[in-house]
Each structure stands twice: as C-alpha cells, then as structure tokens.
Amino acid sequence: MAKEKQQEFVQHLTPRDEDFSQWYTDVVLKCDLMDYTPVRGCMAIKPYGYGIWELMQQEMDARFKATGHKNVSMPMLIPESLLLKEADHVEGFAPEVAWVTQGGGEELTERLAIRPTSETIFCTMYAKWAQSWRDLPMKYNQWCSVLRWEKSTRPFLRTAEFLWQEGHTIHATPEEAQQETLAMLDVYREFCENVLAIPVYSGQKSDKEKFAGARATYSVEAMMQDGKALQTGTSHNFGTNFSEPFQIQFLDKDGALKYAHETSWGTSTRMIGAVIMTHGDERGLKLPPRIAPIQVVIVPIAAHKGGVLEACAEIAGGLKAAGIRVEVDDRDTYSAGYKFNDWEMKGVPLRLEVGPRDLEARQVTAVRRDSFEKAPLALDGLPQRIQALLAEVQRSLYEIALAFQQAHTAVARDMRELAAQVNGGYAKAMWCGERACEDAIKEQLGATSRNMPFDQTPVGDACVCCGKKADIVMYFAKAY
C-alpha cells in the first residue's frame, strides 16, 4: 500500500534527462516554491520558496554588514528625467521599463518608472549627501524588488518582478572603488560556494556583456546540470560614469572638488533557480543544509504505538534548542512511505525515522537526502551528530557540484571544438577581444562570453573564432 503510493508519487516529476526544462518547472511547482499569478510575468513566492530566500538573505546580509555596509530604502519610483541622465544606462533599461502615468485620479506631468535598478536614485541622493572626503566612502545596500518588462519569463530565472539586493557605494579614489567591486564579487563567490554549495567562475565581463553604464562588470557564473551557465551575481565599477551627470562631487583633502567613484553589485531570487538546477535529481529538490528551511524532518514509524509521537516531539525539541531547523511530520492521513517521498522531493537534507524498535535501541535511523545513506544514530548527543551530518551533506553537495563543473569545462581551440563543448558545458578559450567574434559565436552556436577569469594563463594563442592572435582567456557557454 505504502509502496504503491510511493511509486505513483515519484512519477509526478518529469525525468531530468528527458526534459530538463520541464523537470525544473515540475520541481518549482510541486515543491510549493512559487505559483503563477494573474499578473504578467510576476510570481507569488510561496512559504517554502520564501523560506529559502530568507536564509539566503540572512547569510548575505551578515556578510554585507561585516564588510561595513548599511541598509537603506529608496523609492520604488524613478522620475523619467533621472533615468535619462546617463545615456548608456537609459539605452539599456528603457525598453524594459513599466511606467506609472496616473496617480490619485490624475494624469502625471512626468512619467515615473518602476525601478528596474536603482543607480539613478542612489546617485541623486548621494549627490546631496556627499560633501567632503570625510563623508566617504558611503556603502549602502537595499533589499527590495525591481521590475523589468521581460518578454518571456521563467520562475525564479527570469521574471518581470524579482526580489534582490542592490549595493551602491561611492568612494574617494578609483582604487578604492575597484577594491570594493572586487571585494563584493568575492563575497558573492564565497557565499555561492559555502552557503549555496555552488562552485562558480569569477571574472570580468566583456564590453558587450557588461552592465549598461558600467566601466567594468564582474560576475560569478555557475554551471547547471544541463551544462548551461547561470550568472548568480554581478559587481560593477562605474568609475565616474554616473557621478559626472549626477554631480556627485566632494571636497577632497587637497581642497579640490572631485567626482566620486561608484560601484554597484547585486544578487537576486535567481539564485533559487541555480540551487534547484545545480543540486536537484530525479526525486526533486536537494537543498544545501545552510539554506534549507527544514534541515531535518522526523517521520514517526508506527505512530499509533505508545510513546512514538512523544519521543519525536522530544527529539525535535532537543534539535531545535541546538539551532537546527526541524519538523515532525505527524500527519495521520499519509503513510510513512508517502512522507519519505514528499520530503525527498522537497529536498530536506536529513530524514530521521523514529519507531518503537529505534527507541528501544535508544537510537534513530538517519537517511541522507544527497546519498540516501541510511545509518542509526544514538540518541545520546544527537544534536552534535546531526550538526556534523548536516555539515557533511553541505560539503558533499559542493564537492559533487565542483566535480561536475570541472568535468564539463574544457579548452576549445576552434569553432568545432567550441560547438561541441558548449553543448552541455563551459568552454575555456582564447579570444581576440573583438565584438565581431562574440557576435558570431552567439549567432552560430547560441553561446555567449561568460567572463574572463582572473587567472589569465593562456590556453592557446589563436582566437577560437577568427583564428587571429589572441591573448584573452574567456569562458563561453550557453546561458540562462
């Protein structure tokens, strides 16, 4: 009976190797991460999905604060005149903007954009707030949502409205701004690796792929299980590109009036998509313990037997007291088998089975979601054992993802090799630096330049596309 239910249940997810994209959509919906809404391209993030985002936020926010950043809140609306001030920026974002044209029953004299990003409003305020070198640096961040009128959308990966954080900083010198840009990129790298268990390639974007208005854009690029790239974070150095039109000037120590040097950096709910497509499997989601809203689920076995439910509650209490996010699944309308599958699908890192025989032996049976390894754990000192096991799951998820990334990255020396490599992985290739070659690669192979790694040790001397002399090492991949 439980067996039958189990079978039926697993069949609900489209197999990954049959249709990766449909598998993704199945996971997102069936795990109750989000739902579609009647609002074009906008999603409702459900409690389980939002719980993941909250944990990501906590981890990132702590890192931002530890590196001297403070949170603020800026208006969601941006007058059109502000958006127009920086030419490249408006060119990049204007086509995607949603405009407020009526308010309080009247037509507005100036259209207001719902922020697609907040450089222009931060710049306006920074121009007001920065007077002297003593006021610098200003290192602010905000958690909010932004809106971009995307033509086609996919849950978490590309939605019209999405939740994100955007850091905006101004500095007295170009060196400080560059240092900030790279420091925050590295915060993102470390966060992806240690919290999301996702290895990333850090590097600089090409001119073609950089942010509208930036002098230099850096990114961290993850690899999904279909070999495609997903950019999980970006960090931009604007130099004085914005501070000049916005007149962000300060009186320096030497008495001269100077333009501030600016950066911005962001990550978003896209990262939830990256987690799904990096770690998931046939049975569904696999959550790294550090961002799992439920780290441990306790499933009572023969729950009707005396003492079982009480023992589950007691064990849960002990784990909770040790800071472990735990839940007891005491639903009496489902079989234990159904529950196993349900929580496996939802990616809970560790399941504890607690039955009369376990209790007699003063133990529980622990089952890892990542490896399905099953082992008894003594009740004595259980919280410590669980902590260790969760750390082990976290480490293991990262290592498997790292091995996958390494196995699916290879050098490509010409277009034939590049075509083969980007069909399910990243290519590391030499590039001459010409936009024409990037365009050709995009057009012929559907792949884009991802970023230039900081380690520029050559892997050849000829451009992968045109064959001319090349001295830039670039990652190419198809991308989300």
CB of 333 to its own copies, least distance (A): 7
Of residues 50-69, those binding its own copies (CB under 8 A): 50-51, 53-54
Nearer CB in complex with its own copies: 118/219 = 118
For the CA atoms of 150, 154, 159, 162, the dihedral, rounded to the nearest 10 degrees, stands at -160
* Nearest approach, Cβ of residue 134 and its own copies (Å): 7
Q: Count of CB atoms within 10 A of residue 286's CB?
A: 25
Among positions 255, 321, 332, 333, the unique one binding its own copies when judged by CB under 8 A = 333
For residue 106, how many other CB atoms are within 10 A of its CB? Answer: 7
Find the helix packing angle between 20-30 and 270-279, rounded to 10°.
Answer: 110
State the nearest-atom distance from the C-beta of 28 to its own copies, in Å: 14
Q: Taking CB under 8 A as the rule, does residue 147 contact its own copies?
A: yes
**What is the chain's alpha carbon radius of gyration, rounded to the nearest angstrom?**
25
The Cα 298–Cα 311 span in angstroms is 10
289 secondary structure, DSSP code: G
Smallest gap from Cβ 45 to its own copies, in A, equals 4
| Candidate segments 141-149, 306-314, 362-370, 472-480, binder of its own copies by CB under 8 A | 141-149
| Beta carbon nearer to its own copies, 11 or 152 | 152
Rounded to an integer, what distance in angstroms lies between the CA atom of residue 287 and that of residue 341? Answer: 15
Rule CB under 8 A: choose which of 140, 211, 250, 426 binds its own copies.
140
CB 379 within 8 A of CB 366: no
Q: Is residue 71 at the binding interface for its own copies, with CB under 8 A as the rule?
A: yes
DSSP state letter for 117:
S
Could you tell me which stretch among 126-134, 275-283, 385-393, 433-441 binds its own copies (CB under 8 A)?
126-134
3, 11, 18, 38: which one binds its own copies (CB under 8 A): 38
Nearer to its own copies, 68 or 381 (CB): 68
Q: Does 129 bind its own copies (CB under 8 A)?
A: yes
Beta carbon nearer to its own copies, 150 or 392: 150
- Of the pair 54, 439, the CB lying nearest its own copies is at 54
Contacts of 307 (CB under 8 A, 6+ apart): 356, 359
Nearest distance from C-beta of residue 253 to its own copies, angstroms:
12
Shortest distance (Å) from residue 231 CB to its own copies: 22
Residue 135, token pair as written in the block: 């006021």
Instruction: Please state the closest distance from residue 161 (CB atom) to its own copies, in A.
Output: 6
Alpha carbon 448 to its chain's center: 19
Residue pair 460/474 in contact by the 8 Å Cβ criterion: no
**Residue 87 beta carbon to its own copies: minimum distance, rounded to whole angstroms:** 18
Binding mask 79-118 for its own copies (x = CB under 8 A): x--x------------xxxxxxxxxxx-----xx-x----
CB of 221 to its own copies, least distance (A): 26
Least distance in Å: CB of 272 to its own copies? 11
Is residue 116 reached through a cis peptide bond, with omega within 30 degrees of 0 on the bond before it?
A: no
Nearer to its own copies, 112 or 198 (CB): 112
Shortest gap between Cβ of 167 and its own copies (angstroms)? 13
Closest CA to 162 of 310, 268, 241, 308: 268
Whether 268 and 147 have beta carbons less than 8 Å apart is answered as: no
Q: Which stretch binds its own copies (CB under 8 A): 142-150, 167-175, 180-188, 242-250?
A: 142-150
Report the distance separating Cα 104 and Cα 260, nearest Å: 38
The nearer residue to its own copies, 45 or 437, going by C-beta atoms, is: 45
Q: Which two tokens stand for residue 447?
A: 């792949």
Of 135 and 207, the one with the shorter C-beta distance to its own copies is 135
- How many residues sit close enough to its own copies to count as binding (CB under 8 A)? 55
Question: Which residues is 141 bridged to in the sheet?
Answer: 71, 167
Per-residue string for binding with its own copies, 351-370, x by CB under 8 A? --------------------
Residue in 15, 22, 39, 371 binding its own copies, rule: CB under 8 A: 39
- When asked if residue 43 is in the footprint of its own copies (CB under 8 A), the reply is yes
| Token pair recorded at residue 242 | 């914005």
430 and 459 Cβ atoms separated by less than 8 Å: yes
Task: Give the C-alpha separation, 195 to 151, whole Å.
Answer: 32
Strand duo 409-411 + 426-431: pairing: parallel
Cβ contact 194:75 at 8 Å: no
The DSSP-derived string for 407-438 is HTEEE--SHHHHHHHTSSSEEEEEE---HHHH
By CB under 8 A, which span of 128-136, 257-265, 385-393, 468-476 interacts with its own copies?
128-136
Residues contributing to the site for its own copies (CB under 8 A): 35, 37-40, 42-47, 50-51, 53-54, 70-79, 82, 95-105, 111-112, 114, 121, 124-125, 128-129, 134, 140, 144-145, 147, 149, 151, 161, 163, 333
